[in-house]
């Protein structure tokens, strides 16, 4: 599915749609996607590119995508990795020049977050996360788990990071 808009779009409900991929490109406006029920197709890529505007994704485990890329120039990114379960490894790349990043990940999902920033910082980290070094954070038990994993790479110029539980 391709969405190419120049202005604001409200929430896009993608529940149960068979999507092999998703591509959203916009110059202005806030976007929100929701996968309340699982994508029956499973696996694929998601690319979101916004100029000025916030992006929010919810029930992202139900998307069943392999890879997700989200880029904003001057907007925030808030992603909730809730849903049924993580069926296979999922790789996420986030980039924001001046917007913060807020991640909501259940405690039982093995996740590793790499946060690289010029001027941002981690301003909130809920219980259940561990700081491995100056840029890497994991959910507890990440290194011991053999189940599918969530890997998130974040690159910001001035964006802060919040790590919370769903």
pLDDT tens for the chain, residues 1 to 166: 767 664 556 678 888 889 999 998 888 888 899 999 999 987 899 999 998 889 999 999 999 999 999 999 999 999 999 998 899 999 999 999 989 999 999 989 999 999 999 999 999 999 999 999 999 999 988 988 889 999 999 999 999 999 999 8
Structure tokens, 135: 């840029």
Q: Are 166 and 139 in contact (CB under 8 A)?
A: no
Q: Could you count the other beta carbons within 10 Å of the beta carbon of residue 18? A: 9
Q: Where are the beta strands (DSSP E) in 29-89?
A: 31-34, 45-52, 55-58, 67-72, 77-80
Per the structure, the complete domain to which residue 160 belongs is given by 2-164
Q: Is the pTM of this model over 0.85?
A: yes
Q: What CA–CA distance (Å, rounded) separates 54 from 43?
A: 25
| R_g (Cα) of the chain, nearest Å | 15
Structure tokens, 151: 């890997």
Q: Could you count the other beta carbons within 10 Å of the beta carbon of residue 133? A: 7
Structure tokens, 51: 């100029």
Per the structure, the count of domains in the chain is: 1
């Amino acid at each position: 599915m391709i969405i190419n808009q120049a202005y604001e779009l409200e929430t896009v409900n993608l529940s149960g749609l068979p999507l092999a991929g998703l591509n959203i490109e916009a110059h202005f406006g806030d976007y929100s996607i929701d996968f309340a029920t699982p994508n029956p197709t499973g696996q694929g890529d998601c690319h979101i590119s916004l100029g000025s505007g916030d992006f929010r994704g919810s029930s992202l485990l139900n998307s069943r995508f392999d890879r997700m890329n989200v880029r904003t120039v001057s907007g925030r990114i808030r992603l909730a990795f809730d849903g049924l379960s993580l069926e296979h490894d999922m790789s996420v790349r986030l980039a924001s020049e001046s917007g913060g990043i807020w991640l909501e990940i259940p405690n039982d999902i093995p996740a590793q977050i790499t946060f690289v920033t010029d001027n941002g910082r981690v301003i909130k980290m809920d219980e259940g996360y561990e700081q491995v070094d100056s840029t890497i954070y994991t959910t507890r038990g990440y290194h011991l788990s053999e189940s599918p994993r969530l890997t998130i790479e974040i690159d910001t110029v001035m964006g802060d990071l919040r790590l919370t539980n769903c």
